[in-house]
Chain A
Amino acid sequence: MGTIKNLAEGITALLKGLATTLKILSRKPVTEQYPEYRRPLPARSRAVIVLTRDPDGEERCVACYLCSAVCPVSCISMQSAEREDGRRYPRWFRINFARCIYCGLCEEACPTLAIQLTPNFETSGRDILKLVYEKEDLLVNHGGKNNEYNFYKRAGVAMVGDKGTQINEDKPVDLKSNLP
């Protein structure tokens, strides 16, 4: 008796399955036809990385090496250097997109909002070296997701203004004064 019941159940299950697949056969495919239709991606989707600029137009990147340190695939490399006015900047900055996994950790690590991921993902090509981006390929002329932030306004080092002139700072201590 049990066998027959099992058999019946089994056959029903098979038929149900067949019915399901048949039903879907009549449905309209959900696939988006990519090159013809480009789906508008959310601003925070993660693809090609750019280096943004401060509101005053300077490079935001101070080459602190945090992104290269946090990068799980070590695809970021750079050399920090000092500009004549003492500002820290990357002398060269290289991202190997052939290695990048677009995890976005670099963007999270970046203290100056310089490195940001953009929704642009169309980078494939036939020459792998074209996927190695240098600083001039990465630099853009805007602030990316935040156009207001200026690291040096908060850092407390004399760069965009003298000591004591920036956000939340007192005037420098006068070494010649006896006042408390």
Chain B
Amino acid sequence: MPKLKIDGLEIEVERGTKVIEAAARLGIIIPRFCFHPGLGPVGACRVCAVKFEEGPVKGVQMSCMTDAQDGMVVSTTDEEAADFRKHVIEWLMMNHPHDCPVCDEGGHCLLQDLTVAGGHGIRRYLGKKRTYNDQYLGVFVQHEMNRCIQCWRCRRFYQEFAGYRDLGALQIAHHTYFGRATDGQLESPFSGNIIDICPTGVYTDKPSRFTGRRWDFERGPSLCIHCSLGCHIITSARYREMTRLEARFSESVNGYFICDRGRYGFYYTNHPERPRRARIRTEEVSLDQAIQTAAQKIIQINQKNGPKAIACLGSARSCVENQAMLIRFCRVQGWNEPTYFETPTMAKKVKRAVARLDEQLAVSMREIEKADFILAVGADPVNEAPMLALAMRQAFRNEATIVVIDPRPVFLPFEFEHLPVAPDDLEPCLTALIKGAVHRSAAEKMGEEALRFYDTAPAEYPDAPIKNRMVKITQKLRQSRYPVIICGTSIVRETTPDVAADSALLLRAARGRAGLFYLMSEANTFGAALLSSEEGSVMDVVESIEKGSVKGLMLVESDPFRSFPDYERLKQAVDKLDLFLVMDYLPSFAARLAHLFFPTQTLFEMETSFVNQEGRVQFATSAYRGGIPISQISAGGHPLRVFRRDIPGGESQPAWQILAKLANIISLPGREMFSLSKNELWSWIAKEYPIFANVPIADELPDDVRVHLAQGREKLFPSGGQIRSGGLSRENSTLELVMGDWTFGTEELSTYSKYLQQVEKEPCLFMSPKDASMLGLKDRERITLPLDKGRLEMELRIVDTMAPGVIVMPKHRQLAWQKIEKWPVKVAMGQIRK
């Protein structure tokens, strides 16, 4: 461990640490443009020069290119080095345009800061400035190439870190240009990060163009809830409008970056149609009045039909507080427990996954980067949880082998082995791999159940082409030191999460170290699974309504019309209800139908907590106080010249507070009264769910708190080592319909974003060439797909990277796919027509 002295302060760092990082650890921030802790050094900008006074290196050197070594004495304030840096900035400014007033980076521009810090105020160079023509880079990124100082950060991120090729460096030397070969939308779903990392204003945020300066924004740490990973973000709000999101550094979750879905998905908060007033049918009333009316209706139904006549649906996009309060509400009223999942299968899958994670097995994305073998089962990272793909790419850059077992045409921004097998064959394929790579003795050590698991696993996968490819993969797995299994929960069968966990346990026994990483469907699916005790589902609730045993339905930030497979049936059920109460912040279809509607607050307006898919409890602060954006009230003109005390449209409240108020009115005397204090709610959660007892309710935002049900459990194989025998003998007359996610267009909240809507691809049906040739269909033909309750028309795409016997379709916003009676869907082959 080299020990060195920087500005008189001593520090010991790991071998390989650069001097610039060592200094940062001491709190000395050496100027930098090209160096980025996420991207590493390149030595392009020359502005991090420091003076090495003693030790193996002497003189003025680049601190980002020099490894810290023993005996180094470094001065950052040395006159020679400071003078060097000053001149570097002057050189960089030679061609920089003087357009700070019309540049969106102004105010948080690194070049601006360092120009001021370097004292360069007057231009001495009288020659002409180099100029570049700009490119159209799509909806998210604004290009202004004149401002470039050639630090290479964008290219290094875009190509090396993220693995996309369409943006890079063109030309040479003085003419180096960063851009695309031709104008066009950037292909990478991580393109927004080049805005964050560009030290000047070459790439600026297009949707929030000219909306404000950094100093005008209300900024705060928050969370991204557009997938289950829970990336850390910084919010910027101004004039009651969320304007911009940026990545917030998180050691274990997202690192320095976030994906475009997270960055541009927040526009549901400002949605012009977002309901902001409470409603009784179509009449807008005050929130208190609506609560009173709701209380009366609920009391009536409870008296007439008993406490079980009202059902509640929560959602996995709600925060822990909302979910917990809904459960508490139902328990105190003696109602049925609320439901958080669409189908019983989904509930079981998630609950099993949640039950299997423990502190040793669960890995964060940072640990995935360190893995040398990644096995993804039923997961499509770029589409389901984009940042996971980025983490996997870092593992790939560290020479890891990456294998994806999935029926869908999975794309990842790096080379990987794709084993396209049907959903039924995921488990056999996975276990066959594990069996090939793990010796039986490892299973023996772990006990009877492990052995049963090992023995039930198929020795080899029957399908020949895939079997052949598996040989090499098995070999790699056998040599791996740190394998990680990534398991999706959306398209897989009920038992797959358990099988993945069992496999990970076996791998751990054999390799000494292994990780398990589940992907879940929504931001707080993990929390919902932890909190809800029953495995009820929306399907059950709909059945009860049809039977007439349920007369009232309360939706808390949930829109079953989006996710329930049979739209017509749900609509008819809702029409039968005596009371249909909706609390939400989205202009959802359910909100429109509601008899009673309550506006709730989004994540950005309240203090909340979410549990991400690895069981990490994360906290978000409120970014602003809510209300209708000034730009919407004044229709673009100046703010109204009226004085008022309240915030226009600021009636929304956190759903859990509305629930608490409602409960306090309908509660019979003697029953528990709910407080509106978040601490009180959390102490209830900690009491009812001991797993949450260690979660600190603090003002600071801890991000290293994980809750795991499996912690300290003696029985490692709760499933008893059972493996469902695969459905390898498939009849050839039907195709299974698999509905997956797309990066843009399928996730509920982000579909309300007008910018993501512009980059959404049109939904299409994927089919393997084998099936297509049997049906005589050609690529890009329009076809009709018959479903239980109607047909769908869309384009057909034939891809050879997917499993035969399966057709894949996104749960796309533009697709009215909710015509399905029951999962899984089998489509008779002959019925797919042009």
Contact = CB atoms under 8 A, between A and B. Distances in A.
Q: Do chains A and B touch in the complex (CB under 8 A)?
A: yes
Interface of A: 62-66, 68-69, 77, 79-82, 88, 91-94, 111-112, 129, 132, 134-135, 151, 154-159, 163-164, 168-173, 175, 180
Contact of B129 (A77, A134, A159, A169): A169
A135 B175 contact: no
A151 to B, nearest CB: 7
Given A69-B215, A111-B100, A163-B146, A173 B210 contact: no
Interface stretch (B218-226, B455-463, B630-638, B672-680): B630-638
A134 to B, nearest CB: 5
Contacts of A64: 100-102, 106, 213
Contact of B97 (A62, A79, A81, A156): A156
Given A111-B101, A173-B131, A180-B174, A69 B146 contact: no
Contacts of A82: 209-210
Interface string B83-117: 00000000000000111111000110000000000
13 contacts: A68-B216, A79-B630, A91-B637, A92-B639, A93-B638, A111-B100, A112-B101, A154-B98, A155-B102, A156-B129, A163-B131, A170-B129, A173-B130
A164 B131 contact: yes
Contact of A173 (B99, B102, B175): B175
Given A92-B639, A134-B638, A180-B173, A156 B209 contact: no
B232 to A, nearest CB: 27
Nearest to B175: A173
Interface string B128-145: 111111100000000010
Interface string B194-231: 00000000000000011111011000000000000000
Given A68-B216, A92-B636, 6 more contacts: A80-B211, A94-B638, A134-B638, A163-B133, A169-B131, A173-B175
B239 interface: yes
Nearest to A129: B641
Q: Is the interface of A mostly helix, strand, loop or mixed?
A: mixed
A91 B636 contact: yes
Contacts of B175: 173, 175, 180
Nearest to B177: A175
A170 B128 contact: yes
B686 interface: no
Most buried by A among B127, B239, B634, B638: B638
A92 B131 contact: no
Most buried by B among A81, A129, A155: A155
B210 A155 contact: no
Contacts, number: 104
B213 A173 contact: no
Contacts of B131: 156, 163-164, 169-173
B170 interface: yes
B639 A65 contact: no
Contacts of A169: 128-129, 131
A163 B132 contact: yes
B170 A175 contact: yes
A164 B97 CA distance: 11
B171 interface: yes
A132 B640 CA distance: 11
B146 A132 contact: no
Contacts of B641: 129, 132
A101 B170 CA distance: 52
Contacts of B127: 168
A94 B98 contact: no
A77 B24 CA distance: 38
A65 B212 CA distance: 7
A66 B637 contact: no
A62 B637 contact: no
Nearest to A165: B131
B634 A92 contact: yes
Nearest to B101: A64
Nearest to A179: B175
Interface in B166-204: 170-171, 173-175, 177
B238 to A, nearest CB: 9
A155 B638 contact: no
- Listed from nearest, the 7 A-B pairs whose CB atoms lie closest are A156-B97, A92-B638, A64-B101, A155-B99, A80-B210, A164-B131, A111-B101
B664 to A, nearest CB: 41
Nearest to A158: B134
A91 B641 CA distance: 16
Contacts of B215: 65, 69
